């Protein structure tokens, strides 16, 4: 039987790239737990078994998806100052997480030796080396920055809501759920955020700038970088 063609879609031959893109679209729409080989195959108009012509298994699929979205993060260009470059890629990563809420969890367990991930690491490290850091210190700075960038997203997403409510609603729910007097400090903080919403961007920038300040102090003297 010939492949079923889905209406409106121009015919395209199935390829690894197209499998990965379909998987990303599926997970964007229905969440990571809805990703099954059968459903993914259905989207491509083939059977589940046929996917194994393009990916070696589900693990390879997830690896490929992680690498595909890493390519969406803006990489530092050569002309940019290192601090501006690091800030930009952090913001670009956060925009990526807004488009693909599942990406942070996938990337930081599966950033392995895939093409885009290697390019990402090379460009970030290159920027830090050119700024004057030693290779070992550049590696440490990279690890520390990415720990914070991906870690913040994961912590933030615990507090985020699936419904349309904002952070004041979450805070109010927490405050309501605590029996009076049990967790006074938590209650006090929840009450504060129920009144004035938590600014996620400012909260992120606070920690990021602290780390960037510290990295800047490691630079050899005579290479001052102005802060924005």
Partner DNA sequence: ACCTGAACACCGTTCAAGT
Give me Rg for the CA atoms of the chain: 22
Does 156 interact with a copy of itself (rule: CB under 8 A)?
A: yes
Q: Least distance (Å) from a copy of itself to the CB of residue 69?
A: 16
Helix, coil or strand: residue 74: coil
Binding track over 19-58 against DNA, x by CB under 7 A: ----------------xxxxx-x---xxxxxx-xxx--xx
CA distance 151 to 28: 20
E strand spans, 110-159: none
Stretch that binds a copy of itself, among 5-13, 41-49, 87-95, 137-145 (CB under 8 A): 137-145
Neighbour-count burial of 175, counting CB atoms closer than 10 A to its CB (0-12 exposed, 13-18 middle, 19+ buried) = middle
Q: Which of residues 17, 210, 223, 227 is near a copy of itself by CB under 8 A?
A: 210
Q: Does residue 89 contact residue 96 with C-beta atoms inside 8 Å?
A: no
Stretch that binds a copy of itself, among 19-27, 43-51, 86-94, 102-110 (CB under 8 A): 102-110
Using CB under 7 A, list all residues that contact DNA. 1, 3-4, 13-14, 35-39, 41, 45-50, 52-54, 57-59
């Amino acid at each position: 039987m010939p492949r079923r063609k889905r209406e409106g879609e121009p015919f395209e031959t199935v390829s690894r790239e197209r499998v990965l893109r379909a998987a990303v679209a599926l997970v964007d729409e229905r969440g990571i737990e809805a990703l099954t080989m059968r459903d993914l195959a259905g989207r491509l108009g083939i059977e589940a078994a046929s996917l194994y012509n393009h990916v070696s298994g589900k693990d390879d699929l997830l690896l490929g998806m992680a690498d595909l979205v890493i390519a969406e993060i803006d990489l530092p260009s050569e002309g940019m100052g290192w601090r501006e470059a690091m800030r930009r890629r952090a913001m670009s990563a956060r925009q990526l997480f807004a488009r693909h809420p599942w990406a942070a969890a996938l990337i930081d367990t599966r950033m392995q030796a895939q093409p885009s991930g290697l390019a990402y690491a090379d460009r970030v490290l290159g920027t830090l080396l050119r700024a004057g850091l030693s290779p070992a210190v550049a590696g440490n700075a990279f690890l520390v920055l990415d720990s914070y960038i991906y870690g913040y997203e994961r912590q933030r997403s615990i507090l985020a809501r699936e419904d349309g409510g904002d952070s004041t609603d979450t805070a109010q729910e927490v405050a309501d759920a605590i029996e009076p007097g049990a967790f006074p400090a938590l209650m006090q903080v929840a009450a504060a955020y129920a009144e004035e919403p938590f600014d996620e961007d400012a909260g992120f920038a606070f920690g990021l700038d602290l780390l960037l300040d510290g990295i800047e102090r490691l630079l050899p003297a005579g290479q001052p970088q102005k802060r924005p």
